Amino acid sequence: MSTTLPVIAAVDGSDDSLRALDWAFDAAHRREAPLRVVHVRQYAAWAQTDVLIAGPPDTGEDPVLDQARAHLRGRAYAVATEYVGMEGVPGAVLPELGADAQLLVLGSRGRGGFAGLLLGSNGVACARDAQCPVAVVPPPGREVHGEPPAGAGPRVVVGLHVDSPDDATLSLAFAEAGLRGAGLQVVAAYPWPVQTWAAAGQIMPPVIDEVSLESETRVLADGLLAPHRERHPGVRAETCAVPGDAAGHLVAASRDAGLVVVGRHRRRLLAPARMMGSVAHAVLLHAAAPVAVVPPAPPRE
């Protein structure tokens, strides 16, 4: 039996989940990993017991899984695939599955989502709570504003906060770029304009100029990227030090990108619960490309 953790695709019969299934199938093929297709048959939250995952409900037919089998039938290449039906509340069950997966993939909205919502509740729950990276596949045709940096060929985008970097996020981004034969665009945003408050609420002019701040950000970013470049010499990584809103720059860069990678949120002493940061949430809402949300690396001893 293979010891490689699977890529999990969550399906519910919606068009969004079938697009996510296609993406997960390709991801499993690139990673040489098995694919596990999961359908959580939802029951009402008010009827929920203390057991979040009851296991496969029965061995009867599941039309959603039958649809997934038919959708994948006849692919040009083979991926070891299993189909699992479960019962429960998807927003509770699906994140728990991340403990035994290398990647969890789902669509932006499920069958029960409202058409006006850009991101369904299950996507939010998984991106916030799962122990593995979560990829959310958006619907086609999502428009973004702003011009991404020019560059030929496939591209993976990753957000880097130089003041609180996370190795897990960078590791996934470099690995994905390597698997795809793509370049890596590293977006490192710095705050600008910098405001300094004086007495009586007066705003003082910044004591540092923007050119120096951009240069410092680039130097810090290149230092953080150095060990990853060494481990992935075939990946061409370009650092983009940009002023202002990190989420806006990442969304703009998502146009024509193969994947956008963002960190979830680092737990803090006074906020120990799992959280999804504002940048990750905004990118999930608006990016035109699939978005992978990466949980923070465990703290070193």
Q: Is 36 exposed, middle or buried (0-12, 13-18, 19+ CB in 10 A)?
A: buried
Helix pair angle (90-97, 121-129), 10° resolution: 30
Task: Express each pLDDT in 84-129 by its tens digit.
Answer: 999 998 888 999 999 999 999 999 875 544 443 445 678 888 999 9
DSSP string, 207-242: SS-HHHHHHHHHHHHHHHHHHHHHH-TT--EEEEEE
Structure-model confidence comparison of residues 204 and 130, the more confident one: 130
Domain 155-294 sits in CATH 3.40.50.12370: yes
Q: Is 160 helix (H, G, I), strand (E, B) or coil?
A: coil
Question: CATH code for 7-137?
Answer: 3.40.50.620
Average pLDDT, the chain: 83
Q: Please say if the pLDDT value at position 64 is more than 60.
A: yes
pTM of the model: 0.85
Q: Where are the alpha helices (DSSP H) in the chain?
A: 15-31, 63-72, 90-97, 121-129, 167-180, 210-231, 246-253, 278-286
| 297 Cβ contact list (under 8 Å, min separation 6) | 166, 167, 168
Q: What is the pLDDT of residues 193-247, one digit of tens each?
A: 665 555 555 555 555 677 888 899 999 999 999 999 999 999 999 999 999 889 9
| Residue 277: predicted pLDDT | 79
Query: What does the pLDDT average to over 281-289?
Result: 91
| CA-based torsion, 129, 135, 137, 142: positive or negative | positive
Q: Where in the chain is the domain with CATH 3.40.50.12370?
A: 155-294
Burial label for 23, CB within 10 Å (0-12, 13-18, 19+), is buried
User: Are the C-beta atoms of 290 and 123 separated by less than 8 Å?
Assistant: no
> For residues 48 and 25, which has the higher predicted lDDT (pLDDT)?
25
Range(s) of the chain covered by CATH 3.40.50.620: 7-137
